[in-house]
Amino acid sequence: MKRVAILISGSGSNMVRLIEDMQAGDHPAQPVLVASNDPAAAGLAKAAARGVATAAVDHRAYNGDRAAFEAALLEPLLGARPDIICLAGFMRILTPAFIDRFEGRMINIHPSLLPKYPGLRTHARAIEAGDEEAGATVHEVTSDLDSGPILGQARVPVEPGDTPETLAARVLEREHQLYPLILRRFAAGARERFDI
Ligand code: GRF
């Protein structure tokens, strides 16, 4: 049974879907920790309510010293002995040293059809570009931001009159389908791309 730690920063709706899928049974992985850089993240209580251990390491206490923040984050993280780390709405950029330590074992969900729109404001950028399609990508995390090998994508149409908010809501629904599916495959050892 693979051990999965999930890093969040906010509401944690993707994290909840990952946990629910793992806890539904017949899954090659189990959730062992949910950690947040924001002690006020609503997702922490949702994880605890599902019986998953939680940790909060407030990045603001480290005054921009990423290495010191990561050293503090590593304490609960390594304590949980994860085989796989899922970033799920985790809004801190990780240093190459941190990423290298978990190479091949860390995955992320990003709300765009990568390689389009790495970084922030993905939905606004898709609308501004006049794209007919948007979506989400699950990829392996490498030290190139949002550029690691793609494990799977889900697509949605961009509708006339979409705002970044309406498009984000449509994409998020698909994120909730995509991420559990890709984690299930990844935990079983699959690395080839799978689009839904
Ligand atoms: C998702 O759209 C995710 O792709 C992005 O941030 C959002 C997090 O939502 N990086 P949640 O915390 O999983 O609800």
pLDDT value, residue 135: 98
Distance CA 196, CA 184 (A): 14
pLDDT value, residue 160: 96
Task: Tell me which residues are annotated as active site.
Answer: 110
The angle, 0 to 180 degrees and rounded to 10, between the axes of the packed helices 13-23 and 42-49 is 10
Do 139 and 151 form a contact (C-beta atoms < 8 A)?
Answer: yes
Query: Burial, 3: exposed, middle or buried (Cβ in 10 Å; 0-12, 13-18, 19+)?
Result: middle
Q: Facing residues of 109 across strands?
A: 138
pLDDT value, residue 182: 98
- Atom of ligand 1 lying closest to residue 110 CA: 4
Q: Which phi and psi (to 5°) does residue 119 adopt?
A: 85, -150
Is any ligand 1 atom within 6 A of the Cβ of residue 36?
A: no
Per the document, the length of the chain is 196
pLDDT value, residue 145: 83
Is any ligand 1 atom within 6 A of the Cβ of residue 109?
A: yes
Note the pTM of the prediction, 2 decimals: 0.97
Ligand 1 atom 6: the closest Cα is on which residue? Answer: 89
Q: Facing residues of 29 across strands?
A: 2
The CATH H-level superfamily of 2-187 is Formyl transferase, N-terminal domain (3.40.50.170)
Residues of the chain with pLDDT under 70: none
Q: Residue 29 Cα, ligand 1 centroid: separation in angstroms?
A: 21
pLDDT value, residue 196: 96
